[in-house]
Structures are given as structure tokens and as C-alpha cells.
Amino acid sequence: MTEEKAVVSTGNRLSPVWILPIVALVLGMWAVVYSLTQQGPEIEIRFETAAGLIEGKTKLKYLDVDVGEVENIRFTEDREAVIVAVKLDLDAEDLLREDTRFWVVTARLGAGTVSGLDTLLSGAYIELAPGTGELGAREFVALDTPPVTPPGAPGMHLELFSGESPSLDAGDAVLFHGYKVGRVESVAFDAERREIRYRLFVDAPYHHLVDSSVRFWDVSGLSLTVDADGLKVSVGSLETLVLGGVAFGKPPGMAEGFPVESGAEFKLYPSYTDILADPYRYGLHYVVQFTQSLRGLTVGAPVEYRGINLGYVKRVMVQELMSLGEYGSGEAIPVLIYIEPGRLHAGDNQARLEELRLSLEIGVSRGLRATLSTGNILTGSMYIELDFYPDEPPAEPGVFQEYTTIPTISGGLSRIEKQITALLDKVNQLPLEETVTGANQAIAELTTSLAALRKILEHNKTQALSSELQSTLVELRRVLAGVSPDSRVYQSLNASLLELNRTLQNLSEFSRTLSDRPNAVVMPVEIPPDPIPEASP
Amino acid sequence: MRTLILAAALLLAACSSQPVEPTRYYLLRTPVAVTSGDQESAAEYSLGSVEVATYIDQPGLVQETGSGEIHMARHHQWAEPLRISLRRFLATGIGAEAGQTVAIMATSPEAGRIDVSIDQLHGNRRGEAVLVAFWQVSSANGNVTSHQFSESRDLSRDGYTALVEAEQALLQQLARRIGQSI
């Protein structure tokens, strides 16, 4: 009897029962991976408040297209602002750059504009303006107000600075010849430089109008001028009358400028008249020190080079002089002057400024000096004149506090006074007495010489000399008559000349023939017949 | 040998001269009758300089052949240089017109002076003779007056003889004009 043995097989084969769970697992994992790979980036934006923002509802839009949605809103750790987490679509990744800007769009009623009316019904949304910086940023700070300039608009940003109180506001117009070509984007106060800074945007293609020669002035409101011509009212435009604005243009007589980069800085003048009074941007400060009276020298007095206006006197630096603390030493009084290269019509820019600085420095070593000159004798008004005095000993520009100094020499009346004194000194030193004695001696000698001369002239022989001279002249006249046109010598000379003339003429004809026909010496010359003059029919 | 002779004959034949047109010479003399006899004592005026343009200052007669192009005749020439004959011609002509003697040469510095400059004297393409001249009369008292003359005259027929006749008539006209100006 055979013993039956149970066949034991190891369970290494998977039961078909497992197929379903495995498929389910693979599908599940694929779904997870798919959803992970299809997820867009998540970013966090810091807002001052969460006004109008609702979790799971508020959209993030770019150019009015949804690119994401608010997921979560929470406080910052210090509970002073809110962090809004926004989930973006996958394809919106490249909008996230380090300088991308975000702001909330709601209905706004501004001075000049009404915007975002559609959000009254649809609810607020977050708008973004992609930047140009590096990709990959995930944390942003939102803007308080929408940027005035639409994102990516072609044009140019400019900066204006002004020491006056602010009269412009964000959104105000930028005008060129009364036409709106841009707007003020933002106003800020620079505490360090103590000036108001305005950020402007000039739309393309008008940004080409801005170059280094233009000046900006405030045209807010209206300006009233009363002068000898009557009452003058000037208004930029109706919009600027109500809202304010800034105009720019090229002052008359200004040299051509060069193009400026985006972000260039300009000074904002309070009015157009201020530009006409002081249209130049670049200038140099110098100090001139005088030991003479400054009576008649006022602030604003011209600084001239041989009559050409270079700049003006800024102030007499009495305060600085006092701070030196050297009382009673007769220290020279420093005067601050301001020299502008633009006045020479050479161009109002940094390069010209450097050229002027250099030429003044070289000039000083060659005798350039400042003097006080009288501009008007009646009023006694003075101005500062720069000129070359080659006789002056060579000098170098000095330093007074932070300013460079130009050496001075006393000018005007005091200079003349000095010269007269020097002249009188010289006259005093002349050996007058010795000179007079010498002159007396000379006169006595002259008298004796004249007496001797008279004796010679009265002598008989001297008188005979003149008759001899006369006879010589008669003889000379006779000789000269021999060569006059009537004389035979002249006639024969004339005939000889005529003969020579004829010979030369023949010779010239011969040479002409020879040059035409070099073989004319041995060969007979064949002269072509002359053209016959024809009478008019 | 025969070829050598033939070659020599040909060579010599090249040297043989052809009949040459003879050169004709023309004399420039004033048609004004010159009376013989004693001349008046002192001339009131004398001819100073008589200048001729360089292109006329050569023996050939000048004929315009193209625009700005001239031909100086080789077979038709002045018998005397124009500089010399013109002086004589003008002195006689001016004297006859003014009714007084004009000295050929400047004699005394006290007398008046006439300076003549001939700028153009040639036949042009329209069948005319052209004469352009300038003159200056400096009178004895120091007055100086300047004048100019520019005339043309049709040739009566073809040929250089007619050209000479026309030029002579123009020069005669110039002499009269100068005579009237003094």
C-alpha cells in the first residue's frame, strides 16, 4: 500500500484577490503625485488690513485673468498686519519675481479718478504686477494703494526734488506745453536731505521730450502777476487749476541737452519765473577773501570774467569768519561765490562743470585773480571780477573750510591808490638835484659848441662850398639829359629793344612749332591751313 | 638690291615737301591823313602805356573757332607787333579826332596821359570782329577818368582781309571815342 503524501506547495504565488487592491494603490499614488505636480506655488502677502478679503473666495488677478485664490488669512506674530496665503495656478509661477507688486482693487473715489466700480458687485480682488527681478520669491508686501501707472506701461520714471512745501499729490498731471504726458506717482519726504521727493512717470513716446536741458516747475493753481504791464494770470490747465500739476520745458537760450536715463533727478522749481531767474543746474562754490572794504557788495552781485557773467555772490561768510575765533587780526573776509558753466552756453552738465573747475585751477596758476570792482560809481555797488594778472606771483587755489578759494588782489579804487603811492615813492627817490646840476653843465657845453659852429659857418671857405655844389648839380642835369627820350642813346636803345622783341617773337613761334612737331628741325613742317573767318550771312 | 633701292626711294619720298601756303602779312595803319610839315610845339596829351591782352600779343591773327576756343593764324600775320603798331595807330587817330597832337611817347610829365588796354581783338564765330578796350585819361591838372569800349562789326565778306579791315575800323572807332573823351 502506498502511502499517500500530501503535496505541500509553498504559497509563493499571489492570489488574484490582491490584484484589485494593488491597482487601487497604484491609482491612488498616481493621483497623489498628479495632484502634487499640478499644484501651483503658494505665496504669502503681507497686508495692512484684510479689508474686503475673504478666504477661499477672493481671487488673485493679473490683467483681469484669475491666476489664484486666497486660501488663508492670519495675523502676523506681532498682530499688526495680516498675512494672506494665496494659492496660485501652476502656470502663474513665472509671475512671481522678487519685485512683483500686489495690491487690493476695490472701488476708489480719488480727486481725479473713479476706479474699481466693478468690485462693488463682484467683491474686492488682489491684482498683481509682475516685476523683472529674479524668479522664485514667495513672500511679498502689498502696496497700500494701487500704483498710478499701469504695470508695464512704456515710459520713463523721473525723480523731482524740491525744498518747498509739497503742492503736488500722487496722480497729478505732468504737462508739456499744457498737454498731459504723465503723472505724479508718489510723494515722499526725504528727512536726510530735507526735501520733498516726487516720483513721476512720463508716458511713451513723450519721455523722449525729457533731456538734461529741461526744467520742471509747479503749475498748481493759478499764478497772478502784477507788474508794469498790468495784471497777468497764468493757469496750466483746468485740471491743474483744480488738482495741481507739474510742467516741464526747455528754458529759452538753453543749450541742447543729452538724453537721461530712467530715474534721473530734477529740481522742481516753484514757478516758471524762478527758472528764468536761475535756469542752471550745475555750479561750483568758491570762496574769495578780501582785505578791503566790502561796502557795496550785495548778495546776488555778479561774478564776471572780463565782463562775461559767470555767476553771483551767494553770501558774505561773516559767521564762518567769526567761528575762526581770530579777532583783531585783520583777517580777510571770505565771500562765497557761485559759478555756473551753463551761463557760458557751453552746456549745463557735469562734464562742463569739471572742465570749468579744471580751467579755473590752471588759471590761478597763470595769474587768474579775483578783484572787487565798482559796478556803479553813483550807487557804489560792487561786483567781483575774475581776470588774469600775469605779473602776479604764481599761486595755487587755497582751501577755506570745505570750499576752494581763488586768490584775490585788491582792486578798484584801492588798487589805484596803491599804484599812485608806489609812483610817488619812485618820484621821491629820483636824484632830482644831481640831474639838474648835470643838465646845467650840459647847457653850458652846448653854448660853447654853438659858438664854435657859428665861427665855422662864417668862414669864407664854407660859403664857397655851396656854389661848388650848385655847379655839380648843373653838370648832373646835363648828363641826365643825355638819356632822356629825346636823346640819341634812348632812341637807339628803343630800336634795339624792338629788334629783340621781334627776334623773341620768332623764337617763340619756332618753339611752338617744335613742340607741335619735334621733327620740324629736319623735316619740312606741314602747317595746316588756317580756318577762314566767315562773314555772317 | 632692288628691294634696298625701293626702300630708300620710299624713305626719301616721305621727305619730299608739298606746296606750302605762303604766309600773308597785314599792316595796321590809320586811314587818317597825316599831313607832313612841322608839328605843333608841345603835345597836350601823350600815350602812356598801350597794353594788349597776352593772346593778341603775337603775330598771328586770332579767330574764334569754338566756344572759348581760338585759333592763332599761322599764314595770316600782322606785319608788326600790335603793341607797336597800335601805339602809332591810336596816337594818330586820337590826335585827328581831338584836333591836337598826341605824342606817341610820354615826353614831359606836365602833359596829360592816356593809358590804353586792349582786352579783346579777334574775329568771332558769328562773322564779326570784336574789340574790347579800356582807357584812362589823366589830365594835366590831376583829374583821372576811366572809360571802356566794347563793339563788334560784321565782316563784309569771308577771309582774313575782311577781318583785318573790320578790326581796323573798330580800332578807328576806338581812337575816335578816346579822342572825344579828352
Is B126 part of the contact surface with chain A (CB cutoff 8 Å)?
Answer: yes
Q: From A528, which residue of chain B is nearest by alpha-carbon distance?
A: B74
Is B164 part of the contact surface with chain A (CB cutoff 8 Å)?
Answer: no
Among A483, A505, A532, pick the best mutation site for testing chain B contact (most B Cβ within 10 A).
A532
Measured distance CA(B20)–CA(A396) in Å, rounded: 93
Nearest by CB: B162 against A505, A533, A537: A533
Residue A147 grid cell = 500704483
Shortest Cα–Cα distance, A505 to chain B (Å):
7
Is A102 within a domain?
yes
H or E segment to which residue A310 belongs = strand A308-316
Tens-binned pLDDT, residue by residue, of chain A (537 aa): 556 777 776 666 778 888 899 999 999 999 999 888 877 888 899 998 888 888 888 888 888 888 888 988 999 888 888 999 998 888 888 888 888 888 888 887 765 567 777 777 778 889 888 877 788 788 888 888 777 666 667 888 888 888 777 777 777 888 888 788 888 888 888 888 888 888 888 888 888 888 888 888 888 766 666 655 667 776 666 666 766 788 888 877 676 777 888 888 888 888 777 777 776 777 888 999 888 888 888 888 888 888 888 888 888 888 887 777 666 677 888 899 988 887 777 677 778 888 888 888 888 888 888 888 887 777 778 888 888 888 878 788 888 888 888 888 877 666 777 788 889 998 888 888 888 999 999 999 999 999 999 888 888 777 788 888 898 999 998 888 777 766 677 778 877 887 888 788 778 878 877 887 777 777 766 777 888 888 877
Is B158 part of the contact surface with chain A (CB cutoff 8 Å)?
Answer: yes
Q: What is the pLDDT of residue A327?
A: 65
Using one digit for the tens of pLDDT, what is the confidence trace for B121-176?
999 988 999 999 999 998 878 788 999 999 999 999 999 999 999 999 999 999 99
Q: From A537, which residue of chain B is nearest by alpha-carbon distance?
A: B127
Is A299 within a domain?
yes
Using one digit for the tens of pLDDT, what is the confidence trace for B30-71?
777 666 655 555 678 888 888 899 888 888 999 999 888 999
Is A536 within a domain?
no
Q: Which of A363, A391, A421 is a domain's end point?
A: A421
**DSSP label at B156?**
S
**DSSP label at A250?**
P
Is B107 part of the contact surface with chain A (CB cutoff 8 Å)?
Answer: yes
Is A394 within a domain?
yes
Instruction: Indicate yes or no: CB of B162 within 8 angstroms of CB of A536.
Output: no
- Residues from chain A contacting residue B121 (CB–CB below 8 Å): none
Q: Are A244 and A301 in a shared domain?
A: no
Q: Are A186 and A261 in a shared domain?
A: yes
Is A384 within a domain?
yes
Q: Which of A107, A141, A175 is a domain's end point?
A: A141
Is A267 within a domain?
yes
Is B65 part of the contact surface with chain A (CB cutoff 8 Å)?
Answer: yes
B42-181 to CATH, choices 3.90.1150.10, 3.30.1490.190, 3.30.230.10, 3.40.50.10610: 3.40.50.10610
Size of interface A-B (CB pairs under 8 A): 64
Measured distance CA(A144)–CA(A142) in Å, rounded: 7
Q: Are A408 and A299 in a shared domain?
A: yes
> Residue B16 pLDDT more than 60?
no
Q: From B77, which residue of chain A is nearest by alpha-carbon distance?
A: A530
Q: Which of A377, A394, A421 is a domain's end point?
A: A421
The range of the structural domain enclosing residue A480 comes to: 431-503
Q: What is the ipTM of this complex?
A: 0.71
Residue A42 grid cell = 503658494
Is B121 part of the contact surface with chain A (CB cutoff 8 Å)?
Answer: no
Q: Where are the domains of chain B?
A: 42-181
Shortest Cα–Cα distance, B72 to chain A (Å):
8
Task: Tell whether omega for the bond before A533 is within 30 degrees of 0, i.e. cis.
Answer: no
Burial class (CB in 10 A: 0-12, 13-18, 19+), A75: exposed
Number of domains in chain A: 4
Residue A62 grid cell = 493679473
Nearest by CB: B157 against A486, A509, A535: A535
Q: From B107, which residue of chain A is nearest by alpha-carbon distance?
A: A485
- Choice between B95 and A24, residue whose per-residue pLDDT is larger: A24
Q: Are A346 and A410 in a shared domain?
A: yes
Instruction: Indicate yes or no: CB of B107 within 8 angstroms of CB of A530.
Output: no
Instruction: List C-alpha distances in Å: B3 to A150, B12, B13.
Output: 109, 14, 15
Closest CA to A533 of B44, B12, B176, B167: B167
Cβ neighbors of A149 (< 8 A, separation 6 or more) are A155, A183, A185, A201
- Residues from chain B contacting residue A485 (CB–CB below 8 Å): 105-107
Is A335 within a domain?
yes
Q: Are A90 and A159 in a shared domain?
A: no
Instruction: Indicate yes or no: CB of A535 within 8 angstroms of CB of B106.
Output: no
Residue A312 grid cell = 553771483
